Structure 1
């Protein structure tokens, strides 16, 4: 069609698309209390806008991956962006909590921007080079989760929570146009039929490395999801922060993520993927352990608290590019399906962990319990990283 892109997308386009998928999760988090108040529901019900969103995106990624392997990355991503824009408009005008939650979960269509952007990179580069590039992409797009909650909190204070969804609608429209003009197709080895593509899932599920990388990704991101879910409660009740400062606390975890992603970009091309993944897990575990010791010792201050949590961001910055490249390299011809299936696992795990977090956190136990749940998630991801490293040393060939 007229002016439709025919060349591979620029790095900037992939960064912006990925950033929007992150913003859609966390930008409005400081507004959860105000949303609950306006609709006359509990914080737990309002929190379904996170857990429900994650659950829907899990299902969407299972479908989007094979669809992109069959029909291409471009059409699947454009349709997802269009649904996101329409759903954002619905959230803006919602006058009932159930209407709001319905449109909120429909915003999950934007998740293709993250999963398929990674697949587009893997389409064009080998695994270590892809991991290095994904590290720089992660570093650049980390500005979104760092500034998103702060920006969302300020917008809430000035214009109300609905203005955040107005921003989503406008930004989503701009990204749709950008993708239309710049996002050329990168998948040039498409499967013959959609049914055949879905039948490749058993091949992926039979790979032990796929499981190792996927479980590591799921629980690495899980620690992040737990934090962004509980930070609003802990920030407001334990530390007495304003919505804008809660945004700073939520976004603070990405300062470490930027550093970790930069290190990944520099080193991923020189070290095995398993080494980078394991280094990130050690960093996250150490930071959270220090945080728990400080809380037990009675040191409960927002600076020390967020400072320890930043090591989770550092660890994820080291882990995620290498693990993402690794999971798509298990079967390179199935990169879209691998990205979709591992992404579905990660957001399904995130939905479960955010639901658990919302259920067990109280004003009395919030500071310690939040760190404990994060540490448990990091421990599981660390076990998966050790398993992948063991496979690398025992069986150099992909299995």
Structure 2
């Protein structure tokens, strides 16, 4: 009987991990699968590639707005109902994008899709609810690594869909995959509610957690390293397809190397988590990103813009992101375990706002894109290192009763 219960518990955890990874896939799919279709979208709507790239930043901002409400509400009314509602809205937005014949309508439905996709912030809350200790930390590393693999494979899938179904194809596929995940979530999840926080309003929840400087500091570090990744994703079609004249298929293959860096970073993060402290792991990852900024600046100025001079620094930067982000996220989520929904929403909102705004600034910079990226890596990693140092010093201060 004990062995039977153990087997059931193990199968339930495997199903939960599969659901979480599916949510991660749906969270990154709407952004990265569309990258090879930027020229086609530009032609279809008679807009510049830069306008289409800005729509990706708008998508990130839309997700961040949605997350602000979804997380705290999930603490009050349960994760399951909000996850299902969000997926339904995201499917509606995706189908609207596929059928849009005007750029303004496309942006509207893209925003609707983003608002629905905000429900995938609950993956972090579900990790906090369903797993404990080292198992939880390992799962966060797995999620960040998997997101990188999905990111790198999505453009290749997008290029295939572009050739097969033109740019609307990615939206149709998103709706189909979301339907499958919707059914799986219906069958697997229970609509549990955190009773200790159910009396708090959304404003009270955020006021309670956002006065903790450790919480904000760790989430800001996670946001800074995500911004390095996201800025590159937003401008990558402009660099590789517009400036370097790569085809959609060549561009997609190029990003496969980018995904390999996530695997390397995930393996490194897993090994480091057993050897060094979490704060040291954060420092190591940020140093990787700083080195990537120095290398990108040096290579682009001495050898010119090329696929190699872009990818080598980006691989190093991505490894640093994969090492730092799960460690910073775990430290932040540990601060308020009884408010996992609100904590995940506050952190992910900060991540997407930083990613959306800074990537838009990088995209609009009058300076060469590779130089702007290099400088942003240096500035963001230095800021992250300073924050991590301040947090550690604050933790070491003696507390007087």
Structure 1 partner of 2:113:
107
Aligned partner of 2:165 in structure 1 is: 159
CA contact (8 A) 1:92 1:162 kept: yes
* Rounded Cα–Cα distance in structure 2 between residues aligned with 1:327 and 1:205: 11
2:254 paired with 1:249: yes
1:339-364 alpha-carbon deviations (Å, 9 max, x no partner)? 101111111111111211221167xx
Matches within 5 A, 1:150-299: 150-185=156-191, 187-189=193-195, 191-193=197-199, 195=201, 197-268=202-273, 271-299=276-304
Shift of 1:326: 1.2
Query: How many angstroms does 1:266 deviate by?
Result: 3.7
Aligned mates of 1:33, 1:45 — CA distance in 2 = 11
Deviation at 1:237, TM superposition (A): 3.2
Superposed displacement of residue 185, structure 1:
4.2
User: Is 1:41 paired with 2:42?
Assistant: no
**CA deviations over 1:376-395 (Å, ceiling 9, x no partner):** 33333333233333334446
**CA, structure 1 residues 280+374, in 2 after alignment: closer, same or farther (shift >3 Å)?**
same
TM-superposed deviation, 1:21? 0.2
Deviates more, 1:289-298 or 1:95-104: 289-298
CA distance in 2, matches of 1:194, 1:393: 31
More divergent stretch after superposition (58-67 vs 33-42)? 33-42
Which residue of the partner structure matches residue 26 of structure 2? 20
- 1:128 Cα deviation (Å)? 4.8
Contact 2:76 2:197 in 1 (8 A): yes
What does residue 327 of structure 1 align with?
332
- Tell me if the contact between 2:223 and 2:354 (Cα under 8 Å) persists in the aligned partners: yes
Aligned residue pairs, count: 389
Q: Per-residue CA shift, 1:300-320, capped at 9, x if unaligned?
A: 331242121011111111111
Tell me the residue number matched to 1:134.
Answer: 140
Within 2, Cα distance between the matches of 1:92 and 1:179?
25
1:132–1:189 CA distance, 2 compared to 1 (3 A): farther
Q: Corresponding residue for 2:373?
A: 370
CA contact (8 A) 2:300 2:309 kept: no
Of 139, 148, 151, which residue of structure 1 is paired with 2:154?
Answer: 148
> For 1:189 and 1:259, how far apart are their aligned partners in 2?
40
Deviation of 1:7 (Å): 8.9
Moved more, 6-15 or 114-123: 6-15
Quote the offset at 1:8 in angstroms: 9.6
| Distance in 2 of aligned mates of 1:35 and 1:109 | 21
For residues 44 and 327 of structure 2, the distance between their equivalents in structure 1, rounded to whole angstroms, comes to 43
250-259 or 293-302, which moves further after superposition? 250-259
**Contact in 2 for aligned 1:264/1:318 (Cα 8 Å):** yes
**TM-score for both structures, normalised by structure 1:** 0.90
Are 2:282 and 2:324, in contact at CA under 8 Å, matched by a contact in 1?
yes
> Counterparts of 2:366 and 2:158 in 1: how far apart (Å)?
23
Report the equivalent of 1:3.
Answer: none
The offset of 1:192, in angstroms, is 2.8
Secondary structure of 1:268's counterpart equals helix
Alpha-carbon offset, residue 269 of structure 1: 5.1
Aligned to 1:308, which of 296, 310, 313? 313
The structure with the largest helix share of the pair is 2
Aligned ranges 1:378-397 → 2 under 5 Å: 378-394=381-397
Distance between the aligned counterparts of 1:369 and 1:249, measured in 2? 21
CA distance in structure 2 between the aligned counterparts of 1:9 and 1:388, rounded to whole angstroms: 36
- The 1:8–1:61 alpha-carbon spacing in structure 2 relative to 1, beyond 3 Å, is farther
Show the counterpart of 2:9: none
Alpha-carbon separation, structure 2, partners of 1:36 and 1:299: 27
Q: Is the 8 Å Cα contact of residues 17 and 175 (structure 1) preserved in structure 2?
A: yes
Instruction: Say which is worse superposed, 256-265 or 86-95, in terms of deviation.
Output: 256-265
How far is 1:295 from its partner?
Answer: 1.3
Equivalence for 2:99? 93
TM-score (norm 2): 0.90
Instruction: Structure 2 unaligned segments of length 5 or more: list them.
Output: 1-11
SS at 1:10 equivalent: helix
In 1, Cα distance between the equivalents of 2:316 and 2:13? 38
Shifted more, 373-382 versus 204-213: the winner is 373-382
Match of 1:360 among 365, 373, 393: 365
**Counterpart among 62, 69, 77 of residue 75 in structure 2:** 69
